């Protein structure tokens, strides 16, 4: 939120108590605690009153510094808290003089001037330290509204009190991330509200709000607060990133990295790595859509229609109307429409297709399990003891209280029944409209902190049930809402978009933003959700969707099978589904590495090519892994506009070479999309095109692209057990490229050098 009116004065009613003077420093195990008055201390008499801040600085691991600041440390600790991967704090290198105290943890350093207080963060670049961000003057502060003086300050830290930090932005610095955001990709100049909203993809509201931003200067800032608050990214003071939280406590981390990708590695070390989805999940998903009418005959006609047309469908999704009207969510099939659900699921799975079903965390009072939830206290309550209910999405719906362990077990029992039937994946819809007023949770959690955090407990409950029931590595969600740590429960999709090019553009921007916020895998509604797209938009969206991490055809009130658009749409869906299957050795390698590092499968150009100033604002093309550049078409003129960084790039389809460092415009048919291969790459192409899960090393083709003289390039191919089945290194010397291939067992491997140089 904004407190200041220009450069010199505060808005009416606000009083600022800034960190001014480091008065005491003491060691607390591996951390250091600073007593910081907010006034100038010139003598003993100045210490008799006034506001003091307590600042604690520590390091959870090398390259990360944590700064905690309190006004009153006796305030009751509020829950919930994010589940961070925190171990013991590590020792820092600390030096202190009369003027300054310095803290070093690996390649990050903080300097604190004692008087007047100033804080500077640096990262190590070679043998030198480079300033990355800083705060000084009134930046780190306690701010009070309607403050009447110490003797009249009755509110303490419970009302009209905020803790604020301003961290500097320098010349030519750009800020990204903060979750799945549909506004301009570069966040400079924006107020970003970290508050879950169910607002679609065309506003500043977001389903997935992550209190983390990343800078192209090679650092990130994670604000360790689940409650809603604002980032002012150069939108109050144009040279500062401001964040302020209610109450008298602020906790944030500064994370350094040599590159932006290194920052994401460390951020996900802290908040959790993305869990690896199973190989089958990367195939094509088809949905019944949101409010369409359907029965087994309809479902089978869709499935058989896809298979009969040579489209290798891999997963079928039943959206909400598999349950009875007014009975969401009771986990019970509508027997009038599905008299034999277990048999139907078996018949579908006999075709080699996995099953996903839709749920949400709301229990309507018209369904069969509502009374049990009320009786046993499994729902969120009002302060007067009533069950909290409202009439949005289901009349009289109640909200499952996932802070209650017994409520979680109860909810999971219904999921277990579905999995016993053969359900393989769960679409966890909703989770954003969580109340903050007149609400009581089982464990006493603070309602404001629960608003964003609720989705974490919801998705964790479902994901854990699946892992426990189906086995480790087999949990699979299709989730809409998320907060910090939600990357551990994949996959997430982009929410409710319209069916036009503008929404397709919004979707890619939101997905790239989310994946710069620690999330590794992402999908979107191919063809758009609301209304029905033209055949032109549908076919262009198919190409984009099947070159994304995960791929689902889904809509609202109309079906998304391709033959309802035109016959060419069938060809397009078939072509790109089979292409993705062929690319699976490469895609799955990328996915495994994402689970190990936190570097996403779909990468913004600035994440992969940070030093190239041309990519700073690019948000309509992306890198799929480290070697393939994807540039979807966003117009009815069949025109593709794309930029290639330096080097000799190769068109994946035509093998034509393109000189990098420039923009290109070209016309594309519907079976064409700019899919460009990075110079010096090895891309593994699989031998199977009718499913995404197969033995990737058997019959694999290893293609080597634009390898320079005396350069080497390598790749690996993973098996279904996530172990390396094959590894290969290619080295060029003069006019010859030599290959060194090792495998876990005999495989047929085809080696292809794509630039015509002899392969030895």
Q: Would you call 695 a catalytic residue per the annotation? A: no
Q: What is the pLDDT of residues 244-288, one digit of tens each?
A: 999 999 999 999 999 999 999 999 999 999 999 999 999 999 999
Phi, psi of 25 (to 5 degrees): -135, 125
Indicate whether 67 pLDDT > 70: yes
Phi, psi of 359 (to 5 degrees): -140, 170
Indicate whether 227 pLDDT > 70: yes
Structure tokens at 663: 């923009």
Cβ proximity of 369 and 377 under 8 Å = no
Pairwise CA distance, residues 551 & 479, whole Å? 14
Q: Which of 111, 246, 496, 593 is catalytic?
A: 496
For 289, the 3-state DSSP assignment is: coil
Structure tokens at 607: 């994440």
Q: Per-residue pLDDT averaged across 50-79, rounded?
A: 96
Which helix (DSSP H) or strand (DSSP E) does residue 17 occupy? strand 14-18
Who wins on pLDDT, 155 or 29?
29
Pairwise CA distance, residues 577 & 306, whole Å? 11
pLDDT at 26: 97
**Of 221, 244, 7, the residue nearest 121 (C-alpha):** 221
pLDDT band at 66 (very low <50, low <70, confident <90, very high): very high
**Of 591, 563, 47, the residue nearest 274 (C-alpha):** 591
Interstrand relation of 284-287 and 551-553 (parallel, antiparallel or unpaired): parallel
Q: Would you call 62 a catalytic residue per the annotation? A: no
Cβ proximity of 254 and 108 under 8 Å = yes
Interstrand relation of 108-114 and 100-105 (parallel, antiparallel or unpaired): antiparallel
pLDDT at 747: 85
Which long-range contacts link 733-740 to residues 24+ away (Cβ below 8 Å)? 733/709, 734/709, 736/760, 737/704, 737/707, 739/702
Pairwise CA distance, residues 622 & 599, whole Å? 14
Which residues belong to CATH 3.20.20.80 in the chain? 279-597
Domain 279-597: CATH class, spelled out? alpha beta
pLDDT band at 366 (very low <50, low <70, confident <90, very high): confident
Cβ proximity of 728 and 681 under 8 Å = no
18-271, what's its fold?
Answer: Immunoglobulin-like (2.60.40)
Pairwise CA distance, residues 647 & 178, whole Å? 32
pLDDT band at 37 (very low <50, low <70, confident <90, very high): very high
Q: Which of 236, 429, 446, 619 is catalytic?
A: 429
Look at the alpha carbons of 378, 382, 385, 391 in this order and tell me if their dihedral is positive or negative.
negative
Task: Give 373's contacts (C-beta < 8 A, 6+ positions apart).
Answer: 363, 379, 398, 400, 407, 410
Q: Which of 198, 227, 432, 506 is catalytic?
A: 432
pLDDT at 156: 67
Cβ proximity of 183 and 150 under 8 Å = no
Q: Per-residue pLDDT averaged across 725-741, rounded?
A: 94
pTM: 0.97
Q: Would you call 180 a catalytic residue per the annotation? A: no
Cβ proximity of 174 and 216 under 8 Å = yes
CA distances from 199 to 202, 206, 404, 408, 583 (A): 8, 7, 28, 27, 35
Give the CA angle between residues 497, 502, 507 to the nearest 5°: 50
Pairwise CA distance, residues 576 & 384, whole Å? 56
Whose structure tokens read 């070679």? 126
Cβ proximity of 443 and 405 under 8 Å = no
pLDDT band at 760 (very low <50, low <70, confident <90, very high): low
**Of 461, 376, 446, the residue nearest 415 (C-alpha):** 461
pLDDT band at 757 (very low <50, low <70, confident <90, very high): low
Indicate whether 515 pLDDT > 90: yes
pLDDT at 756: 67
Q: Sheet with 736-743: list strands edge to edge.
A: 712-718, 724-733, 736-743, 758-759
Average pLDDT, the chain: 96
């Amino acid at each position: 939120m904004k407190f200041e009116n220009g450069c010199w004065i505060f808005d009416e009613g606000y009083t600022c108590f800034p960190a001014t003077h480091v008065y005491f420093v003491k060691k607390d195990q591996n951390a250091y605690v600073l007593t910081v008055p907010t006034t100038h201390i010139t003598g003993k008499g100045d210490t008799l009153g006034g506001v003091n801040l307590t600042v604690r600085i520590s390091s959870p691991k090398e390259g990360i510094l944590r700064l905690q600041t309190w006004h009153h440390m006796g305030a009751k600790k509020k829950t919930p808290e994010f589940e961070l991967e925190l171990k013991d704090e590590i020792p820092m290198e600390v030096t202190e003089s009369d003027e300054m105290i310095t803290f070093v943890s690996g390649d990050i350093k903080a300097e604190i001037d004692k008087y007047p207080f100033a804080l500077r963060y640096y990262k190590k670049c070679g043998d030198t330290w480079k300033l990355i961000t800083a705060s000084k003057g009134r930046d780190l502060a306690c701010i009070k509204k309607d403050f009447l003086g110490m003797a009249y300050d009755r509110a303490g830290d419970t009302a009209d009190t905020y803790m604020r930090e301003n961290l500097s932005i320098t010349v030519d610095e750009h800020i990204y991330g903060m979750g799945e955001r549909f506004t301009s990709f570069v966040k400079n100049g924006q107020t970003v509200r970290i508050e879950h909203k169910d607002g679609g993809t065309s506003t500043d509201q977001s389903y997935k709000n992550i209190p983390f931003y990343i800078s192209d200067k090679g650092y990130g800032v994670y604000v360790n607060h689940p409650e809603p608050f604002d980032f002012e990214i150069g939108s109050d003071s144009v040279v500062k990133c401001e964040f302020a939280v209610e109450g008298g406590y602020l906790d944030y981390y500064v994370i350094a990295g040599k590159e932006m990708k290194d920052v994401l590695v460390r951020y996900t070390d802290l908040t959790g790595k993305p869990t690896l989805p199973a190989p089958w999940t990367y195939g094509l998903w088809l949905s019944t859509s949101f409010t369409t009418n359907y029965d087994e005959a309809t479902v089978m006609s869709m499935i058989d229609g896809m298979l009969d047309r040579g489209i290798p469908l891999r997963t079928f999704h039943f959206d909400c109307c598999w349950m009875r009207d007014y009975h969401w969510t009771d986990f019970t099939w509508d027997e009038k429409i599905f008299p034999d659900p277990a048999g139907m699921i078996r018949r579908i799975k006999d075709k080699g297709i996995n099953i996903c079903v839709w749920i949400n965390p709301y229990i309507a009072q018209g369904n069969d399990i509502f009374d049990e939830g009320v009786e046993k206290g499994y729902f969120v309550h009002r302060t007067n003891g009533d069950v909290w209910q409202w009439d949005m999405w289901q009349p009289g719906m109640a909200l499952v209280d996932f802070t209650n362990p017994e409520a979680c077990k109860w909810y999971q029992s219904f999921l277990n029944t579905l999995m016993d039937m053969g359900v393989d994946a769960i679409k966890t819809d909703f989770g954003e409209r969580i109340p903050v007023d007149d609400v009581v949770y089982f464990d006493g959690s603070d309602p404001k902190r629960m608003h964003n955090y609720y989705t974490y407990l919801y998705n964790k409950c479902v994901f854990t049930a699946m892992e426990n029931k189906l086995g480790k590595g087999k949990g699979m969600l299709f989730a809409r809402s998320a907060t910090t740590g939600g990357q551990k429960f994949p996959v997430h999709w982009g929410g409710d978009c319209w069916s036009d090019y503008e929404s397709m553009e919004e979707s890619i921007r939101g997905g790239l933003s989310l994946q710069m916020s620690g999330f590794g895998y992402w999908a979107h509604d191919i063809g758009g959700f609301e209304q029905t797209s033209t055949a032109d938009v549908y076919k262009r969206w198919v190409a984009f969707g099947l070159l994304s991490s995960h791929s689902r055809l889904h809509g609202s009130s109309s079906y998304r099978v391709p033959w309802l658009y035109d016959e060419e749409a069938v060809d397009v869906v078939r072509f790109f589904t089979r292409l993705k299957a062929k690319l699976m050795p490469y895609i799955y390698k990328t996915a495994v590495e994402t689970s190990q590092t936190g570097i996403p499968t779909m990468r913004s150009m600035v994440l992969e090519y940070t030093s190239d100033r041309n990519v700073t604002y690019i948000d309509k093309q992306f890198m799929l892994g480290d070697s393939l550049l994807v540039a979807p078409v966003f117009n009815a003129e069949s025109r593709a506009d794309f930029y290639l960084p330096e080097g000799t790039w190769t068109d994946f389809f035509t093998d034509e070479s393109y000189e990098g460092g420039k923009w290109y415009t070209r016309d594309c048919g519907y079976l064409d999309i700019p899919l460009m291969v990075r110079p010096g790459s090895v891309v593994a192409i699989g031998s199977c095109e009718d499913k995404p899960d197969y033995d990737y090393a058997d019959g694999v083709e290893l293609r080597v692209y634009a390898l320079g003289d005396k350069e080497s390039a390598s790749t690996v191919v993973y098996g279904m057990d996530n172990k390396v089945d094959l590894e290969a290194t290619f080295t060029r010397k003069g006019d010859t490229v030599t290959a060194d291939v090792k495998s876990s067992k005999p495989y047929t491997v085809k080696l292809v050098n794509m630039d015509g140089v002899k392969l030895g």
